[in-house]
């Protein structure tokens, strides 16, 4: 689940924000007994990776199983009810139910909805594309992931948007290794999207996570290479680019959750939770069934 990219995040009262890489290299501090950078980005132990691996696998498995439920005529509320049941059956908890008053086990964002779509009575129509975002808590660790689905058959432009968004995420993940910066992540996404004449949403971003849902840093999906904090082994965060076919502008509806494109152009999003390793990164939310992208699971089901 994305967070707003503007403003300053708070780590239990400690204000943090993105800063230039020269201010973070080689610097660590301890916040409440945990190692962290000056910006408050927590550095986890190698043992912590096991907890994130388990939580991420549960989130990915649920999203895999939802592939069969997405079809024309099904309501987003019915998909959310199924998601809630799947979480409970696995002995996990939903991170979103009760979060700031939110009442659902998923966010389901259809067509021009960018993120934080609220499940309800809306029934899917043939050709609809949708993002389903699920965060689970397993033994205190948060597994957060989202991906795109198609109800029926998507048109060519929608397929191209999903392809570009998926590839932008994977190109960004390819930049995640010690010594690179958060700016390298954002730059990879922005360059790929804009090279295909699409736009990157600025108002929402990825975030740190671990034993809490939202932690520093803000992981923005645009930027310049070599800027922002340096990546250090033990950082956990999400990368979740939102790409629009039209202009990047968004607005929040009166429910104070749903974000939509201002020009009503289609929007797509993919999200993985990752951890920085000694030589690169580990993706905690990989699909064991290779169903992360509709191209894959529709090919396999054909």
In a domain, 3, yes or no: no
Q: Can you give the residue range of the structural domain that contains 274?
A: 27-301
In the sheet that 242-244 helps form, which strands lie side by side, from edge to edge?
Answer: 199-200, 242-244, 267-269
Asked if 242 and 205 touch (Cβ cutoff 8 Å), the reply is: no
On whether residue 252 sits in a domain, the answer given is yes
DSSP line for 108-128: EEETTEEE-PPPSSPBP-TT-
Whether 11 maps to a domain, the answer reads no
In a domain, 44, yes or no: yes
Does residue 5 lie within any of the structural domains? Answer: no
Asked whether residue 295 is domain-assigned, the answer is: yes
Give a yes or no: residue 22 inside a domain: no
Beta strands in 139-249 (DSSP E): 141-150, 199-200, 204-208, 215-219, 236-239, 242-244
CATH code for the domain of 126? 3.90.230.10
Q: Which residues pair with 199 in a beta bridge?
A: 244
ω before 121 within 30° of 0 (cis)? no
> How many domains, in total, are found in the chain?
1
Rounded to whole angstroms, the Cα distance separating 214 from 169 reads 20
pLDDT (tens digit per residue) in 22-72: 233 334 454 444 599 998 999 999 999 999 999 999 999 999 999 999 999
CA angle 295, 297, 301 (to 5 degrees): 115
Give 206-258 pLDDT, tens digit per residue.
999 999 999 999 999 999 999 999 999 999 999 999 999 999 999 999 999 99
């Amino acid at each position: 689940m994305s967070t707003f990219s503007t403003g300053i995040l708070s780590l239990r009262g400690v204000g943090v924000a993105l800063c230039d890489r020269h201010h973070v290299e080689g610097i660590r501090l301890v916040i409440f007994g945990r190692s962290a950078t000056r910006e408050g980005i927590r550095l986890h132990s190698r043992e912590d990776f096991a907890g994130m691996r388990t939580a991420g696998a549960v989130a990915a498995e649920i999203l895999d199983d939802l592939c069969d439920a997405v079809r024309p005529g099904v309501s987003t509320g019915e998909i959310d009810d199924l998601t809630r049941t799947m979480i409970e059956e696995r002995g996990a908890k939903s991170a979103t139910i009760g979060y700031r008053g939110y009442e659902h086990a998923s966010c389901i964002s259809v067509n021009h909805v960018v993120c934080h779509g609220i499940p309800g009575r809306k029934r899917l129509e043939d050709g609809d594309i949708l993002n389903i975002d699920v965060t689970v808590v397993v033994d205190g660790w948060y597994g957060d992931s989202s991906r795109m689905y198609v109800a029926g058959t998507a048109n060519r432009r929608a397929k191209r948007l999903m392809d570009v968004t998926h590839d932008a995420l994977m190109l960004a993940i390819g930049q995640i290794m010690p010594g690179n910066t958060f700016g390298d992540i954002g730059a990879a996404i922005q360059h790929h999207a804009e090279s295909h004449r699409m736009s990157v949403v600025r108002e929402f971003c990825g975030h740190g996570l671990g034993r809490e849902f939202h932690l520093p840093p803000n992981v923005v999906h645009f930027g310049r290479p070599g800027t922002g904090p340096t990546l250090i082994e033990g950082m956990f965060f999400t990368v979740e680019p939102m790409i629009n076919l039209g202009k990047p502008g968004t607005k929040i509806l009166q429910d104070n959750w749903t974000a939509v494109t201002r020009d009503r152009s289609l929007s797509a999003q993919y999200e993985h939770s990752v951890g920085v390793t000694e030589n690169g990164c580990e993706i905690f939310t990989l699909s064991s069934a290779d169903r992360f992208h509709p191209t894959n699971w529709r090919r396999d089901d054909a």
